[in-house]
Amino acid sequence: MNYMKEALREAGSALSKNEIPIGAVIVKNGEIISRSHNMCEEKKNPLLHAEINAISDACRILNSKYLDDCELYVTVEPCPMCATAIGLAKIKRIYVGCEEPKTGALGSVINIEDHMPWHNEVYFGFCEDECKGLIKSFFKDKR
């Protein structure tokens, strides 16, 4: 199964709700544990980014504050808030669709790990063109 494609489906759900189209999927032992998308507009809460939502659901499902045996697939590079939450949850591997050139916090603008006591494995470029295209078209339509 292509987990980034599942994250893209979540991003599509966000887009259909006029949210910034970012999707996230958390996988453990080859099984999707949780999935989500941005819900900031819908719920009127700036904290409800795709990654935060997926982490919250996965922690509840696994009854643990740590997701160290899990992988995260996210369509756009996480912001500082989400990158910190990923580290605090101890998610070891993160697969990113495309860089976020304004607020990316896993290496493109800043690397939050340079300021924290943890280190994640971060891999970029999964379904990159599709992830970039979705986010660019969203903002183009807003301008």
Structure tokens at 119: 């280190």
Q: Active site residue: 19, 51, 71, 77, which one?
A: 51
Can you tell me the distance from the alpha carbon of 34 to that of 117, in angstroms, rounded to the nearest whole number? 26
Q: Residues for the chain: how many in total?
A: 143
Q: Is 31 a catalytic residue?
A: no
**How far does the chain reach from its first CA to its final CA, in angstroms?**
36
Characterize the bridge pairing of strands 70-76 and 93-98.
parallel
CA distances from 2 to 29, 55, 80, 127 (A): 14, 19, 26, 10
Characterize the bridge pairing of strands 31-37 and 23-28.
antiparallel
- Say how many C-beta atoms besides its own lie within 10 A of residue 99's C-beta: 18
Catalytic residues: 51
